[in-house]
Amino acid sequence: MTQGNTEKPGRRLKEWLFPPEHIQLVALGIRLRAALSVAMLSIYRLVVVALAAASGFTGVHLLEFCPSAGPDCHSDDETASTSRSSQHAVKSRWNGTGSELIQDLDQFRVSCKKLLEAFPIDEVSGNLVHTVKNCIFSKSIPTPLKEPLSLAAVSKDVIEGILDLDVADLNLSHTDTGATSLVTGQVSWVMVEHISLVSIPTGREKYGNCSLKGSGKTPYSRSGDGRAVIRSSVREFLCSEAMHFLGVPTSRAASLIVSEEPVFRDKFYNGNVKTERGAVVLRLAKSWFRIGSLEILSQSGETDLLRKLLNFVIDEHFPYISSNDPDKYLMFYSTVVNETAHLIGQWMSVGFAHGVCNTDNFSLLSITIDYGPFGFMESYNPNFIPNTSDDEGRYRIGAQADVGLFNLEKLLSALSPVFTHQQQEEAKIILKGFVNIYQTRIHQIFKAKLGLLGEEEGDSYLIPFLLQASLLQSQFNCIMMEDTESDFTMTFRQLSEAFTPAATQQELHTDVGS
């Protein structure tokens, strides 16, 4: 820190977390259609100075920022920004990956122009619900939450490991007089400003796209209020982090902010509306584009925009696919089919039921997103349904692979305008391979869970015998876990201890805090 500057890093960070009220936060949202829902959901990131992307009925505002060193960044006053950075040098701390933690936010500035230059924006600004045509994004302004507010939780792994923020400077107990700016979502705007697609070291996962869930109404909100409640927000915060550490591809949760503002919800959809407290979750993902992002463009005949969006997604997230390859869209589809099968296999391996597997909840990058009425299966039951409004059991845990196949069929249909006839036929063949890919992945995962090494005759029968006959399309008179309603998690845990020395068992229990 230069002589004469007595500002403390903590104070400096707090000022950025709660910036002046005159800073306006604008939001951009992308159109999207769900195959199993009439909803149009805005999903994706974006940005210019204080631009944030917006979502529909769930009330999501998304943002992306880049560091001052980024090639896609610009500033109206680069000289001033540079000099400010030099005036606020502080003692360095480091995260577990060797990256320096950020205590001086002046070393970052906005913004990335790539998306703004690549896609058209809705001419109608504001939060008015309306039909959006011939563009990708809409501008809206996040709706303020009412005070008092509090920063209820942060994920240290995300804050320090991905955003490179110094979590020691974050006040987890309460906000101060700057809370008014937090209400407008600007706290997450600033936090997102730390995200650097350029500065993330090679080998670290890229979570360059952030969303604010519960930040208010957008042009895609239908009759919803765009709010989130504490109950669902806490669930998403905890589950997304748990899934990450279970090794399942997922979005991440950085922070949870709660308010006293009343939000009205019919929790069980039975006409019994109750008042709950509002909340906002800051989420991160590699991308928030979904199958529905392509569907709405295809179904509305906006083929040029469809092709632009596909090209952007492929260039950003599928670098091994050449932009000049005439089969690039076919290669993209093949990858999504394969990785979706793998993702659902991983869901099944931990007993996870998503609850709402619409195409607007299926990521093009095959990561778990939008944690709503999800659940983890306790007693083994292939008909387990966590969603209380799913009366027909469409999204029961045992049907997730079937629903995944259905969604991939919808993706194939959405891609038909950019496929040649031959590519369309090849894509159908690729889709037929989904079941085999899924079954192979399930077989691999559960062999590992059972500790079966190599390939032995009878392995292919042992797993469905233990679980359920339909899992690998086999038939048995006795299905152990389903018949006995065994606890899904504890069955494998106890099997792992069956032939393990007592001393080692004790070490295992100690390691997991049992």
What residue type is 72 in one-letter code? D
pLDDT in tens, 259-279: 888 888 877 777 888 888 989
Q: How far is CA 166 from CA 12, 93, 101, 161, 208, in A?
A: 12, 8, 5, 10, 18
The verdict on 250 and 360 lying in the same domain is no
H or E stretch covering 53: strand 51-54
* H runs (alpha helix) in 278-393: 291-299, 303-317, 328-349
Q: How far is CA 300 from CA 28, 55, 220, 417, 435, in A?
A: 20, 20, 16, 11, 30
380: nearest Cα among 474, 255, 492: 492
Q: Across-strand partners of 250? A: 368
The verdict on 378 and 265 lying in the same domain is no
H or E stretch covering 123: strand 121-125
- pTM for this entry: 0.75
**Residue 379: helix, strand or coil by DSSP?**
strand
277: nearest Cα among 248, 292, 256, 298: 256
Measured CA to CA, the distance from residue 165 to residue 151 in angstroms comes to: 15
What does 216-284 look like in DSSP terms, one character per residue? Answer: ---TT-TT----EEHHHHHHHHHHHHHHHHTT--B-EEEEEEEEEEEEEE-TTSSS--EEEEEEEEEEE
Provide long-range contacts, Cβ within 8 A and 24+ apart, for 332-337: 333/411, 333/412, 333/415, 333/427, 333/430, 334/427, 334/430, 336/364, 336/366, 336/408, 336/411, 337/408, 337/430, 337/431, 337/433, 337/434, 337/437
The verdict on 273 and 321 lying in the same domain is no
Q: Is residue 359 part of a domain?
A: yes
The verdict on 281 and 315 lying in the same domain is no
The verdict on 193 and 57 lying in the same domain is yes
- CA torsion sign for 461, 467, 469, 472 is negative
Measured CA to CA, the distance from residue 307 to residue 304 in angstroms comes to: 5
The verdict on 278 and 300 lying in the same domain is no
Q: Is residue 2 part of a domain?
A: no
What pLDDT, on the 0 to 100 scale, is given for residue 351?
95
The verdict on 372 and 503 lying in the same domain is yes
Q: Is residue 3 part of a domain?
A: no
Q: Is residue 242 part of a domain?
A: yes
What pLDDT, on the 0 to 100 scale, is given for residue 123?
77
Per-residue pLDDT of the chain (514 residues; tens, 9 = 90+): 444 444 433 333 333 333 333 333 334 444 554 443 222 222 222 222 122 222 222 334 333 333 333 333 333 333 222 222 222 233 344 445 555 665 554 444 334 456 667 778 777 776 777 777 887 777 767 777 787 888 888 888 888 887 776 666 554 432 222 222 222 222 222 222 222 222 333 334 456 677 778 888 777 776 677 888 999 999 999 999 999 999 999 999 988 989 888 888 877 777 888 888 989 888 888 888 899 999 989 999 999 999 999 999 999 899 999 999 999 999 999 999 999 999 999 999 999 999 999 999 999 999 999 999 999 999 999 999 999 889 999 999 999 999 999 999 999 999 999 999 999 999 999 999 999 999 999 989 988 888 887 777 777 777 777 876 444 444 444 467 887 888 999 988 888 877 666 655 555 555 444 3
- Of 265, 285, 305, the one marking the end of a domain is 285
Enumerate the active-site residues: 360
The verdict on 309 and 280 lying in the same domain is no
Structure tokens at 72: 């896609």
- Of 259, 285, 311, the one marking the end of a domain is 285
Structure tokens at 261: 């503002």
H or E stretch covering 33: strand 33-34
* H runs (alpha helix) in 434-477: 434-450, 459-466
The verdict on 327 and 279 lying in the same domain is no
Total structural domains within the chain:
2
The verdict on 323 and 261 lying in the same domain is no
Q: Is residue 30 part of a domain?
A: yes
Q: Is residue 41 part of a domain?
A: yes
- Of 285, 303, 319, the one marking the end of a domain is 285
438 and 401 in contact (C-beta within 8 Å)? yes
Angle at 132 between CA 128 and CA 135, to 5 degrees: 125
The verdict on 245 and 382 lying in the same domain is no
The verdict on 267 and 370 lying in the same domain is no
Range of the domain at 119: 9-285
Q: Is residue 488 part of a domain?
A: yes
Q: Is residue 75 part of a domain?
A: yes
